[in-house]
Chain A
C-alpha cells in the first residue's frame, strides 16, 4: 500500500543494461501533489527511474508502486496508464515530425479514445493555453525547440493526467521559452492542485524552484529534500555547489572552483572578426547580419538556445559553410573554404564530440596529428604532451565510445589542440557533462587562454558558463541581441542575474512582454475521463492507421518503395529472367564441303535458334573464336563425310559448345541433338520412303497451359507472389522498427493503445497499398508482358487481397526480431526471398520437395498463392477448383498477426 501523500513508492529498485548498472538499489518515496525534481548530470539514472515510474520500462528487481498500485501488475498498469502522462527526453522525441501541430495532438486524443467533439474542444483549449494556436498547421519538425516542448506538453496533457512525468523538458530551450514553459506548468497545476509532477533537469537554477528534489549520482540517490534544505545541509548558496558537496569524496577530489585571471589588455589585432554575416537556408534566415570582433587571447561566449544560429555562425567562421552575405575574417584574412592553410591555425570541437569511435584514443590523436601535417618525428612528443596535459594517460588504448562523457570531452579538446592552433572554436563543449568535469574543463580553457594566448570562441546554453567568459553575445533567432562583458549585460538591464537580463533582451527583441501572457490558463477540467477503455478500440487502431498514411505520403523514399518498388522489380525480372535461348552464334569447320555437308549445315542455319557466322578455317581459329566468346557452337564435319555416309560407313560429326554458362549450354545441346536426329530422319525418308522412317510408336507431347513454352508466361504468375510478399512485408516491418528507432514507440508504452490495435493500425495502410500493387502488377503482366489471364479474375483478386494481408502480417512478425531499420530491410529480404524462391514452387514444384523444404512450403503462405496465381493466370481456373487452396491463406492471417502481437512488448525490457 502506498503511504499517504506519496504518488510513487520505490523500494530497492535496480536496473541494468548489459554490463551497465543504471540504477543501484534505489529507494525513495515521491510526495504526491508536489513538483518533484530529479537532479544530476547525464547518465546517472534519472531517465531510467522516470521510465520505470511511467511504466515504459519493465521492472527488473525491487518493488515500485505508482498511484496506489503495483507497477508489475498488467492490470494496474492498464488502469493507471490513462492517469499518467510521460514526456521523454529529447526535443520532440514523442512527436511525429512530418505531422502538423494539430495532427500530433489529435493523434494522442484518439489514443485516449476521445470523441471528435471532445478532442476538438481540448485541442483548441491546449493550443490556446500554450500559444501554439497560430501554428496549428505547421509540421512539428519545423517548430523551434521551445515550441516543440510546448507541443509535447499539449500531447501529454490531452487526457488530464494525475501524474505528469517530464524528462529534461527544457534542455536546449532558450530562457524565455523555458520561463514560459514553467509558467504554463504552474498555471496548469493551479487549475489542478491534485496533479503530481516529476521532472528531471540538468538546470540547477530551475531545480531551485521545485518543491522537493532527489539528487542522483551513478545510479544512487545522494540526498532528498527541499532545495533550501539541501543548500542548508551543505552550507552552500546555490544548488550547483550543493550538488558538488553532496558527491562522494572520491568524485569530488581535485575539484576546485574555476578561477580565471583577468585578461591582460593586448594591443594585438583581432583574431576573429565577423561583419554582417548572414546565412540563408532556402527562405529561412538562419544567421542574420551578425557582427562581432574577438581580440587575441579572449574567451568569447555565444549564449543562445538550440537552433538560434550559434552552430551555423561557427561553421561559417571555420569555412565549413559558405556565408550568404557579409564577411568573416580570421587573423585579418577573409575565410575561404578552399584555403587549406588557415585551417591549420584553427581548432574546432563540434557539438557531438566527433571522435572516431572505431579508433583508440591514441589512434585518434595520431590521425589528427598526421592530417595536420605535424612532422612525423615530432608526433610522439606532441601526443605525449597532449596526453599529459589533458590527463588521458590511463585511457590511451581505449575506444572513445567506452569512455565517460567527461573524458571524451577532454579527448575531443586534445584532438582539437593537437596542432597548437591559435583559435579554438568550441560548439557546446560541456552539454551533459557533470559539474566537476565541467569545472575542470573550464580551468583548462582558462589556462589555454591566459597562459598560451589562445583565442577561445565557445557556445553554450548554460548561464553559469557564460558568466565565465570575458565577453558574450546573446543570440536569438539568428540575431545577436547584445555583446558585452557578462557583468555589464546584467548591470545594464538592472537584472538580478544573466538569465533575467537575457529574458529582458529577448522580450525586447520579440516586441512584447511575454507571449505567455497571451496564453490563457486552461480551465480547470471537469472530470471527463472516459470511464473504461474498451478491449479493442477501433478508434485507437484507426489513429495509428491514419498517422501512418499521412507519414508515408510525406516520405518520398518510402513512398516510392511502396508504390513503385514492386513495379520496378517486376519490369526488371520480366525482362531479365528470360530463359528462352535464341540467337545462338554458330560456325562450321567443314573439311568435306560436299552437297551433303552443306545440306547438314543449312539445316542448322535454317533454325530460328541459330545465326550462322563466317566459316571456320582451321583448329587454331576455332579455338580462338570460342575463347573470344563469339561462338556458342562450333561444328566440325570430317573429310569425306558425304561419301562415307552414302556408303554406310561410320561417320562422326563433331560439335563444341561453349560451356561457360551451363544452363544455356544444356539447351544448345538439346537443340543440336534434335536437329541431328531430324536431319537423319529426313535423309532416311528420302532414301527409303516415308513408311520406313516412321517409328514404332508416337509420343504425343502436349505442353499444357503455355503451349509455346514461353518463359514470361511461366515466370510472371510466379513473380507476382514473390513481389507481393517482399515489398509489403518490408514496409510493414519498417513501420514498426522505425518507431522503435526514432523513439516514438514510447507512445505505445504509455497510452492505452493495445499491441493488437497498434499492429493492426500499422498494417492497415500497407495492406491497402499492397492491394493496389496487386492490381498494378496484374495489369503489367496482362497489358505489358502480354501474359494471358484465363481464369476467374475476381477469385484471384480476393485471394490476392488475403495473401497480401498475410504478407504485411509477416512483416510484423519479422519486426519483432530486429532493432534497426537497416536490419529490417535485410532481414525481410532474406526472410522472404529464401522461402519464396526456394520452397514455394517458384522454380521447382512443391511436390518435388522433401523434408524441411516440404514443410516450409506447406506453412509459408506463398506456395498456396503461387498455385492460385498460376491456376488463375494460365490454367483457366476459378473458385470451384482452387477454393481448397484458400483455406491455408485464410488461416495464415490471424496466426501471423497473433504471433506478431505476442512477440511485441507493451513495455521496454
Chain B
C-alpha cells in the first residue's frame, strides 16, 4: 500500500464531500440540529396527561382533589358523569379517570376507609406508568393534609434517601444528547462511505482510478480515512460545542479515549457502508437499504431503550453490531467517567469487528470491481 496515494485520494474525497450540498447538509444537520432537538424535545415523561374526574361527593375534600390536578403535568381535569367514563377512555380521550364515591368525606372522617377508584388507560404506556404514581401521591397528599387538620401527625418511619449518580436530576436531555451523537456517528459513517463509492461509480470515475497505478486497497483505505476524519471532527464539535456549551451537558471521562473508541467504531461502520454500497446498484437502492439496515441497528443498539430489556437472542445477535459496543462505551466514558480499565472489552470488540468488517468489505470491493 502506497501511503502517498492513500493521502491524495483521501484529500480528493474530502474535496468532493465539501462540494456535495446534500451530504454537507446531512453532516451539519446531524451534528447540530438533530442533537439539539433530540435533547430538547425529550419532554418530561408526564406532560399534559389528560385526566377526568367523576365527583359524586362534591365535598371540600373532593374539591381539594380536583383542584390539585394542574398543568403542566395534567390537563385541567374534566368533570364527567359515571356514564361517560368508559366511553371517554375507549375513545382514548382520557388517560386517567378518578372516581370519588358519594359520601367520601363523611366516611373518611368516620374512619370507614372509603375507596377511590383510579382507572388508567394502560395502552398509553408512557403516561400510564409514571402518571399513576403521581395521581396516587397527589390524592394521598391532599387527603392526609385534609385529615391533618383534625388529628396530629403519626410516628415518622425510617427515611429512604435516594440519589441518582452521574445525572442527579435525571435530566433526559443529557441522555438524549449523547445518544444523539452516537446515532449521528453511525448514520454518517454508513451513508458517507457508501455514497462515496456509489458516487464514484455513477460518475464512471472508479474505472478511471483503476487504470492508474493505484490498488483497490488504496482506494478503499482512502475512502475510509476521509469519511472517518470528517465524522470524527463532527463528533468533536458536537461533544465540545453542542453538548459542552449549548446544551450544558456535563461530559465526563477521557476525551482521547472516547475519540479512539469513535475511530474504531467509524472504521467498522464505514466498512459496512462500503459492503452495502457494493450490493446496491444505484443511489436509490442504497437509500432503501439504509432504511432496512440503519433502523434495526439504531433501535436495537441500546441507544433508544436499555439493552438489558431485550430478549437474550436479540442481545446476542446485536453483539455483532459495532454500535452496540459503541453505545456501551460512550455511556461508560461520557456519563460515568470510566477509563480504559473499564471499557477495554468494548475496545477489543470494536477492534475485532473493525478488522472483520474491513476484510469483508475489501473482499466485496474487489469482487465489485471485477
Which residue numbers of A lie inside 8 Å of B, CB to CB? 315, 318-322, 340-341, 343-344, 346, 348, 350-352, 354-359, 363, 367-368, 370-373, 399, 557-558, 560-561, 565, 568-569, 572-573, 575-583, 626-629, 645, 648, 650-667, 669-670, 672-673, 676, 680, 684, 694-707, 709, 711, 713-715, 717-718, 730, 734, 738, 741, 820-826, 829, 838, 841, 843-850, 866-867, 870-871, 874-875, 877, 881, 885
Indicate if the CB atoms of B162 and A350 lie closer than 8 Å: no
CB of B40 within 8 Å of the partner chain: no
B305 within 8 A of A: yes
CB <8 Å contact, B338 and A561: no
CB within 8 Å for A700 and B167 given contacts A627-B338, A653-B161, A666-B130: no
B285 within 8 A of A: yes
Contact partner of B117 (CB less than 8 A), chosen from A351, A648, A684, A700, is A700
Q: Given A318-B211, A359-B15, A666-B45, do A822 and B299 touch, yes or no (CB 8 Å)? A: no
- B149 CB-CB contact with A under 8 Å: no
Q: Are A363 and B48 in contact (CB under 8 A)?
A: no
Name the A residues within 8 Å of B113 (CB-CB). Answer: 694-698
Q: Which residues of chain B are within 8 angstroms of A707 by Cβ–Cβ distance?
A: 122
Q: In the bound complex, how far is the Cα of B264 from the Cα of A595, in angstroms?
A: 51
Q: How far is the CA of A247 from the CA of B172 in the complex (A)?
A: 71
> What is the CA–CA distance of A351 and B205 in the complex, to the nearest angstrom?
10
A575 and B300 contact, CB distance less than 8 A: yes
Q: How far is the CB of B303 from chain A (nearest CB, A)?
A: 10
Establish whether residues A320 and B211, one from each chain, have CB atoms under 8 Å apart when the complex forms: yes
Contact across chains for B159 and A653 when beta carbons are under 8 A apart: yes
Q: In whole Å, how far is A427's beta carbon from the nearest beta carbon of chain B?
A: 10
Name B118's closest neighbour in chain A (CB-CB): A701
Docked-complex contact A844 and B128, CB < 8 angstroms = no
- List B298-335 residues whose CB lies under 8 Å from chain A: 299-300, 304-306, 308-311, 314, 328, 331-332, 335
Question: Can you list the 5 inter-chain pairs with the closest CB atoms, starting with the nearest?
Answer: A821-B284, A659-B164, A659-B167, A706-B122, A825-B287
Choice from B132, B208, B332 contacting A629 with Cβ under 8 Å: B332
- Looking at the complex, which of B4-12, B233-241, B266-274, B349-357 is the stretch in contact with chain A? B4-12
Cβ B283 vs Cβ A565 within 8 A: no
Complex Cα distance, B93 from A825, in Å, reads 34
Could you show 12 A-B contacts with beta carbons less than 8 Å apart? Answer: A344-B213, A346-B211, A350-B204, A358-B18, A371-B9, A626-B336, A627-B337, A652-B158, A663-B45, A673-B162, A694-B113, A705-B121
What count of chain B residues pass the 8 Å CB interface test? 120
Which residues from chain B contact A651 at a C-beta distance below 8 Å?
Answer: 158-159
User: Quick one: which of B90, B92, B122, B285 contacts A846, CB cutoff 8 A?
Assistant: B92
Known contacts: A578-B310, A661-B331. The answer to whether A672 contacts B165 by CB under 8 A is no
Which residues of B in the span 204-240 have a Cβ within 8 Å of any Cβ on A? Answer: 204-205, 207-208, 210-215
Q: Mark B152-183, 1 if CB is under 8 A from A, else 0.
A: 00011111111111111011101100000000
| B174 close to A578 (CB less than 8 A) | no
B119 located at the interface, meaning its Cβ lies under 8 Å from any Cβ of chain A in the complex = yes
Q: Would you call B167 and A702 a contact (CB within 8 A)? A: no
Instruction: Check B310 against A576 for contact (C-beta < 8 Å).
Output: yes
Q: How far is the CB of A860 from chain B (nearest CB, A)?
A: 15
Q: Does B205 contact A371, Cβ atoms closer than 8 Å?
A: no
* Contact across chains for B283 and A356 when beta carbons are under 8 A apart: no
- Check B122 against A367 for contact (C-beta < 8 Å): no
Q: Which residues of A contact B115 (CB under 8 A)?
A: 697-700
Q: A358-B20, A575-B311, A825-B290 are in contact. Are A343 and B212 (CB under 8 A)?
A: yes
> In whole angstroms, how far apart are the Cα atoms of A646 and B208 in the complex?
86
Is B90's CB under 8 angstroms from A875's CB?
yes
Please, how many angstroms separate the alpha-carbon atoms of A846 and B163 in the complex? 34
Do A821 and B283 have beta carbons less than 8 Å apart? yes
Contact B89 A348 (CB under 8 A): no
Contact of A669 among B9, B156, B162, B308 (CB under 8 A): B162
With A676-B160, A697-B116 as given contacts, are A850 and B48 in contact (CB-CB < 8 Å)?
Answer: yes
> How many residue pairs, one in A and one in B, have C-beta atoms under 8 Å apart?
360
Q: Is B291 an interface residue (CB 8 A)?
A: yes
Pick from B91, B286, B336: contact of A627, CB below 8 A.
Answer: B336
Q: Which residues of A contact B20 (CB under 8 A)?
A: 358
Told that A367-B9, A628-B336, A703-B132 touch, could you supply 9 new A-B pairs with CB distance under 8 A? A343-B211, A654-B163, A660-B167, A697-B116, A709-B122, A709-B128, A711-B125, A841-B92, A846-B92
Task: State whether A629 and B336 are in contact (beta carbons under 8 Å apart), knowing that A372-B213, A825-B290 are contacts in the complex.
Answer: yes
A346 to B212, CA, bound (A): 8
In whole angstroms, how far apart are the Cα atoms of A241 and B336 in the complex?
Answer: 80
Is A655 a contact of B204 with CB atoms below 8 Å? no
Task: Tell me if B348 counts as interface (CB < 8 A to partner A).
Answer: no
CB of A370 within 8 A of CB of B8, answer yes
Q: Provide the residues of chain A in CB contact with B170, threshold 8 Å.
A: 659, 662, 665-666, 669
Please name all residues of chain A whose beta carbon is closer than 8 Å to the beta carbon of B120 when the two chains form the complex: 701-704
User: Among the listed A346, A653, A717, A844, which residue makes an inter-chain contact with B127, where contact means beta carbons less than 8 Å apart?
Assistant: A844
What chain B residues lie within 8 Å of A346 (beta carbons)?
Answer: 211
Q: Does B63 contact A (CB under 8 A)?
A: no
A845 near B295 with CB under 8 A, answer: no
- Does the CB pair B308–A583 fall under 8 Å? yes
- A572 and B295 form a contact (CB under 8 A): yes
Complex: how many Å from CA A531 to CA B107?
A: 87
Q: Which of B12, B18, B93: most chain A CB closer than 10 A? A: B12
Please, which residues of chain A bring their CB within 8 A of the CB of B175? 660-663
Q: Which B97-127 residues have C-beta < 8 A from chain A? A: 104, 108, 111, 113-127
Distance in Å from the Cβ of A862 to the closest Cβ of chain B?
13
Closest to A349 in B: B208
Cα A665 to Cα B130 in complex, Å, equals 12
Contacting residue for A576 out of B123, B161, B304, CB 8 A: B304
Across the two chains, which residue of chain B brings its CB closest to A596?
Answer: B158
A705 and B204 alpha carbons, distance in the complex (Å): 59
Choose from B122, B212, B284 the contact partner of A705 (Cβ within 8 Å). Answer: B122
**A702 near B305: Cβ-Cβ < 8 Å:** no
Distance A315 CA – B211 CA, assembled complex (angstroms):
9
B95 at the interface (CB under 8 A from A): yes
**CB <8 Å contact, B160 and A662:** no
Nearest CB of A to B124, in Å: 5
Report yes or no: A698 in contact with B116, Cβ–Cβ below 8 A. yes
Min CB distance, B101 to chain A, in Å? Answer: 10
CB nearest to B205 among chain A residues: A354
Closest CB-CB distance, B370 to chain A, in whole Å? 7
> Which B residues are in CB contact (< 8 Å) with A847?
48, 50, 75, 92-95
Answer whether A659 and B168 are a contact pair too, CB < 8 Å, given A672-B162, A821-B284, A867-B92. Answer: yes
Cα–Cα distance between A373 and B4 once the two chains are bound (Å): 9
Is B288 interfacial (CB-CB < 8 Å)?
Answer: yes
Contact of A709 among B9, B75, B129 (CB under 8 A): B129
CB pair B125–A320 under 8 Å, yes or no, is no
By the criterion CB–CB under 8 Å, are B207 and A315 in contact? Answer: yes
Q: Is the CB of B16 within 8 A of A356?
A: yes
Which A residue sits closest to B107, measured CB to CB?
A697
Is B79 at the interface (CB under 8 A from chain A)?
no
C-alpha spacing A849/B49, complex, angstroms: 9
**Complex Cα spacing A867 to B123, Å:** 10
A715 and B283 form a contact (CB under 8 A)? no
Residues of B with C-beta under 8 A to A670: 130, 133
Contact partners of A561 in chain B: CB under 8 A? 288, 291-292
Cβ-closest chain B residue relative to A355: B205
Taking the closest CB of chain B, its distance from the CB of A872, in whole angstroms, is: 11
Tell me whether B158 and A662 are in contact (CB under 8 A): no
CA distance A343 to B295 in the complex (A): 43
A23 to chain B, nearest CB (A): 28
Chain B positions within 8 Å of A648 at CB level: 155
CA distance A354 to B305 in the complex (A): 47
Instruction: Flag if B215 contacts A340 (CB, 8 Å).
Output: yes
CA A355 to CA B205, docked complex, whole Å = 7
**Which of B18, B160, B215, B296 is A653 in contact with, Cβ under 8 Å?**
B160
Q: Closest A-chain residue to B174, C-beta based?
A: A662
Closest to B309 in A: A578
Closest to A727 in B: B291
Are the C-beta atoms of A714 and B123 separated by less than 8 Å?
yes
